[in-house]
């Protein structure tokens, strides 16, 4: 019975992961707008891994440096509040 429950949990996790990759692949084939792609990835990954906040860094092709691109979560909301207030 425990093995059965574990197997069901594993299958459920795999289904969630497949759903995540399906949504991301649809976004990648439907738009070239980086902000839309990153927003979709962040929204769906947040649901998948239950993250409270996170951010994206991209590699600058010319310098090789990491460049902050986008944030999502509590700190992002605080930043927006500070900017508008």
Which pLDDT tens digits describe the chain residue by residue (85 residues)?
888 889 998 999 899 889 989 988 998 889 888 888 888 888 888 888 887 887 888 899 999 999 998 887 765 544 443 443 3
The rounded distance, in Å, linking the Cα atoms of 14 and 74 is 28
Both ends of the chain: CA-CA distance in Å? 56
The rounded distance, in Å, linking the Cα atoms of 80 and 40 is 19
> pTM for the complete prediction?
0.55
Q: Where are the domains of the chain?
A: 2-84
CA 60 to chain CA mean position, Å: 20
> In the 8-state DSSP scheme, what is residue 68?
E
């Amino acid at each position: 019975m425990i093995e059965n429950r574990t197997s069901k949990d594993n299958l459920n996790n795999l289904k969630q992961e497949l759903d995540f990759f399906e949504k991301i692949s649809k976004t990648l084939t439907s738009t070239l707008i980086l902000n839309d792609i990153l927003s979709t990835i962040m929204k769906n990954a947040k649901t998948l891994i239950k993250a409270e906040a996170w951010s994206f860094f991209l590699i600058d092709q010319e310098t090789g440096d990491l460049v902050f691109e986008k944030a999502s979560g509590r700190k992002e909301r605080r930043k927006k509040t500070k900017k508008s207030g």
